[in-house]
Amino acid sequence: MSALEILGLSLLALFVLAGALGTVLSKNLVHSVLWLALALVATAGIYVRLTAGFLAGAQVLLYAGGVITLAIFAVMLSARIEGGPIPNESAKRGRGALVALAVAGLFGGVLLQADVLAPRDLPVVDAADIGRSFLGEYVLPFEVLSVLLVAAMIGAIVIARREDP
Amino acid sequence: MNEIQFCLLLAVALFSIGIYGLLTRRNAIGILLSIELMANAVNINLVAFSRVHGGAAGQVFALFAIALTVAEVAIGLGLVILMARTRKSINVDEARDLHG
Amino acid sequence: MNLHSLALAIPLLPLAAAAIVGLVRPIGRRGGLAATISIAAAAASLGCALLLLSHTAERFVLKLPWLPVGGRTLAEVGLRFDGISAPMLVVVGTVALMVQIYSVGYLSDEASGPRGRYFTWQSLFLFAMQGFVLSPNLLQLFSFYELIGLCSYLLIGYYWEKPSAGRAAVKAFWITKLGDVGFLIGLLVCWTQYKSFDLAAIEHAMTAGPAQANTWLLPALLFCGVASKSAQFPLHVWLPDAMEGPTPVSALLHAATMVAAGVYLLVSTSFLFAASPVMGEVVMYVGAFTAVFAALQGCVQNDIKRVLAYSTCSQLGLMVAAIGAGSVAAGYFHLVTHAFFKSLLFLAAGSAIHAVHTNDLREMGGLGRGMRWTGVFFGVGMLALAGIPPLSGFFSKELILASLEEHPVALVLGLATTIMTPYYMGRAFLLAFSGKPRSAAAEHPHESGWLMRGPMLLLCSLALIMGVFLWSFADTIHEPVHLEVTSIGLLGIALALAGLGLAWVFHGPRKTVIDALPKSLLEAARSSGVDALYVFGWRHVVFVFAATVSFFDRYIVDGLMNLIGWAGDRAGDALRRVQTGRAQDYVLALFLGLLALVAWGVWGG
Amino acid sequence: MPILTLIVFSPLLAAVVLMVLPERSRISIRVTSLFAAAVSLALSIVALTRFLDGNPLRETLPLIPKLGISYSLYCDGWSSVLLLLTGIILFAGCWASWTVAKRDREFYVLLLVLSTGVFGVFVCLDLFLLFLFYEIAVLPMYLLIGIWGSSKRIPPKGPLAFAMRIFDVGGREYAAMKLTLMLLGGSALILVGILAMANQGAGTPEFNMEALARVHFPRELQMWAFPLLWIGFGSLAGVWPFHTWSPDGHASAPTAVSMLHAGVLMKLGAFGVIRIGMVLLPEGAQAWAPWVGGIAALNVIYGALSAMAQTDLKYVIAYSSVSHMGVVLLGAATMTTNGWNGAVFQMFAHGVMTGMFFALVGLVYERAHSRDIPSMGGFGKMMPGVAVCFTLAGLSSLGLPGTAGFVAEFLVFLGAWESNHAAWMVPAVLGAFFTAVYVLRATRMIFWGPSKAENFPHLSDARGVEWVALLLLGAMIVLFGVWPALALHPIDITTMSFLPRITGLLPH
């Protein structure tokens, strides 16, 4: 891997971690949603780096587009219902940090000792292959997923429906 | 320390930051966002290994995962709004009616 | 009518009468009918006994397997008719019949309902007593022994409305049961030593079989049983209280038959006592001491029945002492004569009580004038008991004194008894029948009817002529007896006369002295420590111990069970608090579990 | 004609029929249950006679062959005597509960189900099925005591009062709960014991007792399996530390239930200890015998002493049951022919005695509505019949010769004296004496003495219906006291077949 690529990858990683930390630590709820957007876009970059172009696109489209907008809507709505900005502070940090560090330490430790296979140059999997496997080998999960998405939509609507006065 | 190992380590870091957010955020939306982070970390793993072993399976499942996470967030936010409407606050600490 | 069915009839007839009167309500309710049935049964049983007495030559034993063990028989039930049981059958039969006839008169003025119950228990007692006399083995002896105790419990408690009667009945049963515990343990020892309960088998095993290790153990335990029923020293406290029962009951049970059961037990197992001289000595000294102790008590009683009760206790002591000294004939003959004149004394006292409606000597006096017959009967009984020559008491008392000759201490005690007995009997007679009447009822007592005087007449004649039968009695029980005039004999007579003189001096017709002894000594003697000991033992030892055990069970052992319940309840409560309701606590638990699993996976097993 | 199955299931059949009967038909309910009880009683007599003339009844039906479970009933000497006892007590119990007013149909259904369980345990050869019957016998107790019972508050005192404060000690719910929990705790131990024995054989587990009797279990297994069975069954038989359910349970239970429970269910426990514990695990039994005997002797004295200090009539009799069950287990621990004969005969004798006692106490309670002895007095005038029966039952319990109680106690004492722990006999004999003390004391305080009948308005003697139970039981006490060979002969035959396994040689 050339020096440039390493620089690119670590830059992307930096953005991802900054985004994550921002989501988790920021005082303002909207800021934390925006930080999340940054993190998601940066991971899309990493997908590109890992030759998963289609996925990067999907990621940006779905996550950054769908989830962030939904979150913004939710924040606006609940702020209006609650009257006033939503307090976004966090408590019991010690406990949370402890568990997070423990998980990181444990998994990281295991990963560092493991000898992970290096990336071999394999044919790049492009959108057509993914589409073929969607309707070929994985057609059942694909259909089930569609059913699930419909159910989720209906569910979300029913849950959040305001009683007509 | 090759590229894949780096991505996996990044995923672990992302995952633990997600856990931190999950455990410390007081409001429901904050928690949902942290869960997003953790789901994202999982996807990085999937893609990293699909890069190693090739084949479409890795990415297909990543896509499935993304779809599922989005569905989950949709429902989650619906609940948050319901909660906000009924309890006038989405602070998680106050919602403890199901205690022993 | 062969002998076997005759022997069987003796106990079974009264049992049948008891069953009819007891179970068939209409008969039981009408007193008169119940009385006739039970008297008829008693008379028939006595008839059989007399018939059997005529040919005691044939000794026979009937046996029937009763308890199986491992395929063989552990114990049998049956009848034993021989020289020893024949006279006892007659004595018991006679006295029982006389008392039953007497009771008809005595209870005539009471409601007729309960009399059905009275005669049921009387017949049941006769069955138990005759069954006891005829038992061939120790187990059956024990069984009937306790049945006799039951009948005494029922009869003493006849006036059960009176709390004192109820308490006396229960006290009698407890103390006899206490003695029977020893007897029961004796049975067990007998089984391990001789592998059988049958008296004949044991006697054979003792003579022929290997010498047993501690031969004293079985007799000692048997003596516990004897001591309780025959009111020997430590276990005699129930006899004076047993006077709560109607007087005919006292006459039958607590003078002639029941208390003599213990002595009869000694007689029929005398070969066991003979085998261990140590035990003989112990029995003799206990008997002698009881005789003197009870006689002393007798001198200070003011209740006529208690005087007679202590006198019975004392005479029993003499019998036991005689048997302990080795002369079974003396003890047994005294038992026979004593049965007659003591029941006569009781019946006479009963007719006196019946007339003046009180037992207290201090309210009697001068009854001799109004109740001539009763006075004469009481006098004859008193003289016989005192041991004045021509009467039966003299013969048996001389025999006893003769048997105690080699044991100086026992002899002295015996002689002391021979002087005290006439004194307290004389005192009772003089206080009741001579001197000035000391209460309104005593002024003009009415003589009791023929139903009461008839039995007394027969018993009086028996008391007079019984002495003559000594020698024929001796050879029915196959024991040599020789009665000659010895210095001890003459001393006995002299002491008897001296006792009577003393009574005359102190309590003669002109004197109004009730108690000869000074007041303080009187109180000390009257409140005998033994009774207080029992009461203390019960209230402060047994009952307190029972209360602590019950407290321990209810509040400690049961408390522990409740503690477990309480701990369960508390643990449940503690666990409840773990569910805080906050979602994040649950997620935390989730991750901790995850960490533990992964850690275990990586480094664990 | 499957006699044994009929004996076991006729009460259950009657229970089903009762369910169908219309609600208001008081008489037909009682008649059906009486008919079922009579059928069982009659057939149990047939079973006894069949055993005596040589061909004992046996019925087998393979249920789950793979697990070695089969429906096999067999009626040997012990079972036939105990069947007879259960039949008698059930019959008397049905008569004694004639006056149950509240929901009498359910009462009779539960009573009949309970007796089916008891019948089942006595004749069942298959351990698995035996455990099933055991549970059927124990569980209805909860409802019977909880619903139809009576309660008497006991103030919490002593060092553990705090623990007692949260329960209303003495109440009927408390008694029902405690009884059921302790017995189920015991049955858990039994299940472990049974399973330990069952899968000893190679391959498929073997539950049939006769087959297990032939298996020689390793010593270590016997050493821990026997105490499990002893404590498990013992808690039902009133073994010392686990007996505390008995006073509360019997005191709060209605008449017929405490008759059946004290009269028969406690025998289930003792039967279990001997028939399953000692016969199948001889080495374990012999090793633990000193403990079993020691605690049994303690039971006798302990029960008698605490009975003496009670002021509640039902508690007196409940503690006396604990004391008499001690005599049974003492007889069992002696491992001698006399001891075992005495133990099984005492089961029968005590069953009849306690049945009669509780029937009488039920009558007294029904009329006087009080069980407090000191406040009663002079009842003999108003209820002479009950007084006589009470005295008879009392005399049998204190072991008066001529009653069944004496024969049983005498055999057990003899067995104890012959066994190598002669010392047990001393507390046992003392216990018998103390029994005499408290029984006669209670009789005197209640039936004798000046009549306190004025503050008990409607005292009356037993009426026609109630006499049946009393006469039947009284006759049994005297009959088996005067001629014990009737029951002792079959018991002796079976003891001879079991005992050699234990002692290796039939004692003298």
- D275-323 confidence digits (pLDDT tens): 998 888 888 888 899 999 999 999 999 999 999 988 888 899 999 999 9
> Is the torsion defined by CA of C318, C323, C329, C335 positive or negative?
positive
Output the domain CATH number for residue B27: 1.10.287.3510
User: Which of D308, D447, D506 comes nearest C70 by C-beta?
Assistant: D506
Residue D60 dihedral angles phi and psi, to the nearest 5°: -130, 150
Residue A117 dihedral angles phi and psi, to the nearest 5°: -70, 140
Closest CA to B63 of A40, A33, A42, A52: A52
Closest CA to C65 of D489, D507, D508: D489
User: In chain C, which residue's Cα lies nearest the Cα of D427?
Assistant: C181
**Residue C445 predicted with pLDDT over 80:** no
Beta carbons of C246 and C158 less than 8 angstroms apart: yes
pLDDT at position C272 is 85
Average pLDDT for C364-390: 84
D433 touches chain C (CB under 8 A): yes
Residues A45-86: tens digit of each pLDDT: 999 888 888 889 988 988 888 888 888 888 888 887 777 677
Q: A102–C598: do the CB atoms touch at under 8 Å?
A: no
D162 touches chain C (CB under 8 A): yes
Question: Which chain A residues have a beta carbon less than 8 Å from that of C595?
Answer: 99, 102-103, 106
> What residues have CB less than 8 Å from D393, skipping those under 6 apart?
D353, D356, D357, D360, D473, D474, D477
**Residue C527 predicted with pLDDT over 70:** no
Q: How far apart are CA C443 and CA D442, in angstroms?
A: 44
pLDDT at position D342 is 92
Q: How far apart are CA B10 and CA A13, in angstroms?
A: 7
- Residues forming beta bridges with residue A90, ordered by sequence position: B25
Beta carbons of D141 and D180 less than 8 angstroms apart: yes
In chain C, the N- to C-terminal Cα span, in Å, equals 96
pLDDT at position C512 is 61
- Residues forming beta bridges with residue C81, ordered by sequence position: C60
Residue B55 dihedral angles phi and psi, to the nearest 5°: 80, 160
Q: Amino acid letter at D11?
A: P
**Residue C522 predicted with pLDDT over 80:** no
User: Which residues numbered 25-44 in B keep a CB inside 8 Å of some CB on A?
Assistant: 25-27, 29-30, 32-34, 36-37, 40, 43-44
Q: Which residue has 């931190």 as its token pair?
A: B20
Residues C531-549: tens digit of each pLDDT: 778 888 888 888 888 899 9
Q: C566–D166: do the CB atoms touch at under 8 Å?
A: yes
pLDDT at position A22 is 92
> Is the torsion defined by CA of C158, C160, C162, C163 positive or negative?
positive
pLDDT at position A93 is 81
ipTM: 0.79
C573 touches chain B (CB under 8 A): no
Output the six-digit token pair for D174. 């408390």
Question: Which chain C residues have a beta carbon less than 8 Å from that of D440?
Answer: 153, 170, 173-174
Residues D68-103: tens digit of each pLDDT: 888 999 998 899 999 999 999 999 999 888 888 888
* Touch between chain D and chain B: 3 or more Cβ pairs under 8 Å: no
Q: C559–D160: do the CB atoms touch at under 8 Å?
A: yes
Number of separate domains in chain B: 1
pLDDT at position C470 is 80
Find the length of chain D: 508
More confident residue, C486 or D444: D444
Q: A119–B4: do the CB atoms touch at under 8 Å?
A: yes
User: Which residues numbered 71-90 in C keep a CB inside 8 Å of some CB on D?
Assistant: 71, 74
B15 touches chain A (CB under 8 A): yes
Candidates A93, A95, A99, partner chain C, best to mutate (most C CBs within 10 A): A99
Average pLDDT for C186-190: 89
**Residue C440 predicted with pLDDT over 80:** no
Output the six-digit token pair for C308. 């007679």
Beta carbons of C74 and C67 less than 8 angstroms apart: yes
Closest CA to D8 of D102, D89, D124: D124
Residues D429-453: tens digit of each pLDDT: 888 899 999 999 898 888 887 777 6
Segment among A105-114, C104-113, C309-318, C562-571 with least mean pLDDT = C104-113
Q: Please count the other Cβ atoms lying within 10 Å of the Cβ belonging to residue A146.
A: 11
pLDDT confidence of D358, banded at 50, 70, 90? very high
Q: C582–B22: do the CB atoms touch at under 8 Å?
A: no
Closest CA to C460 of C388, C381, C396: C381
**Residue D203 predicted with pLDDT over 80:** no
- Residues forming beta bridges with residue C414, ordered by sequence position: none
Q: How far apart are CA A48 and CA A108, in angstroms?
A: 24
> In this prediction, what percent of chain D has a pLDDT beyond 90?
44
Residue D205 dihedral angles phi and psi, to the nearest 5°: -70, 155
Q: Please count the other Cβ atoms lying within 10 Å of the Cβ belonging to residue C507.
A: 23
> What residues have CB less than 8 Å from D240, skipping those under 6 apart?
D295, D298, D299, D302, D326
Closest CA to C422 of C507, C357, C517, C480: C507
Beta carbons of B99 and A92 less than 8 angstroms apart: no
Closest CA to D85 of D235, D277, D270: D270
Q: Mean pLDDT for chain D?
A: 88
Query: Crossing angle for the helix pair C85-106 and C328-356, nearest 10 degrees?
Result: 0
Beta carbons of C561 and D182 less than 8 angstroms apart: yes
pLDDT at position A14 is 94
Output the six-digit token pair for C305. 């029945």
pLDDT confidence of A90, banded at 50, 70, 90? low
Tell me the three state secondary structure of residue C513: coil
Closest CA to D95 of D476, D470, D474, D469: D469
Number of separate domains in chain D: 1
Instruction: Examine residue D110 and state whether it is found in any structural domain, yes or no.
Output: yes
Q: B52–A43: do the CB atoms touch at under 8 Å?
A: no
Separation in Å, CA of A78 to nearest CA in chain C: 20
- Residues forming beta bridges with residue C77, ordered by sequence position: C64
Residues C291-327: tens digit of each pLDDT: 988 888 888 888 888 889 989 999 999 999 998 888 8
- CB-based burial of residue C600 (10 Å sphere; 0-12 exposed, 13-18 middle, 19+ buried)? exposed
> In this prediction, what percent of chain C has a pLDDT beyond 90?
10
Beta carbons of C345 and C279 less than 8 angstroms apart: no
Average pLDDT for D465-470: 84
Separate counts of helices (H) and strands (E) for chain A: 7, 0
**Residue D462 predicted with pLDDT over 80:** no
> What residues have CB less than 8 Å from C63, skipping those under 6 apart?
C76, C77, C78, C136, C198
pLDDT at position D506 is 39
> In this prediction, what percent of chain C has a pLDDT beyond 70?
95
Structural domain for B20, as ranges: 3-97
Candidates C561, C570, C573, partner chain D, best to mutate (most D CBs within 10 A): C561
pLDDT confidence of D160, banded at 50, 70, 90? confident
- Residue ranges, chain B, pLDDT below 70: 1
Structural domain for D98, as ranges: 3-503
One-character DSSP codes across D387-442: HHHHHHHHHHHTT-TTSHHHHHHHHHHHHHHHSS-GGGHHHHHHHHHHHHHHHHHH
pLDDT confidence of C528, banded at 50, 70, 90? low
**Residue D28 predicted with pLDDT over 50:** yes
> Is the torsion defined by CA of C74, C76, C77, C82 positive or negative?
negative
pTM listed for this prediction: 0.85
More confident residue, A13 or A118: A13
pLDDT confidence of D505, banded at 50, 70, 90? very low
Q: Please count the other Cβ atoms lying within 10 Å of the Cβ belonging to residue C486.
A: 13
Residues C580-590: tens digit of each pLDDT: 888 888 899 99
In chain D, the N- to C-terminal Cα span, in Å, equals 41
Angle formed at CA D219 by CA D218 and CA D220, multiple of 5 degrees: 95
pLDDT at position D508 is 39
Average pLDDT for C41-50: 90
- Half-sphere exposure of D8 toward its Cβ, with a 13 Å CA cutoff? 25
Residue D62 dihedral angles phi and psi, to the nearest 5°: -65, 125
pLDDT confidence of C605, banded at 50, 70, 90? low
pLDDT confidence of D507, banded at 50, 70, 90? very low
**Residue C468 predicted with pLDDT over 90:** no
Q: Mean pLDDT for chain C?
A: 85
* Touch between chain B and chain A: 3 or more Cβ pairs under 8 Å: yes
C50 touches chain D (CB under 8 A): no
User: Which of B24, B57, B77 comes nearest A74 by C-beta?
Assistant: B77
Average pLDDT for A87-95: 75
Helix spans in C134-257 (H): 138-156, 163-194, 199-208, 217-229, 238-241, 247-251
CATH of A3-93, one of 1.20.120.1200, 3.30.428.10, 3.30.465.10, 3.90.550.10: 1.20.120.1200
Tell me the three state secondary structure of residue C68: strand
Separation in Å, CA of A103 to nearest CA in chain C: 7
Q: C579–B100: do the CB atoms touch at under 8 Å?
A: yes
Separation in Å, CA of B53 to nearest CA in chain C: 25
Instruction: Examine residue D160 and state whether it is found in any structural domain, yes or no.
Output: yes
> What residues have CB less than 8 Å from A46, skipping those under 6 apart?
A9, A12, A13, A16, B7, B10, B44, B47
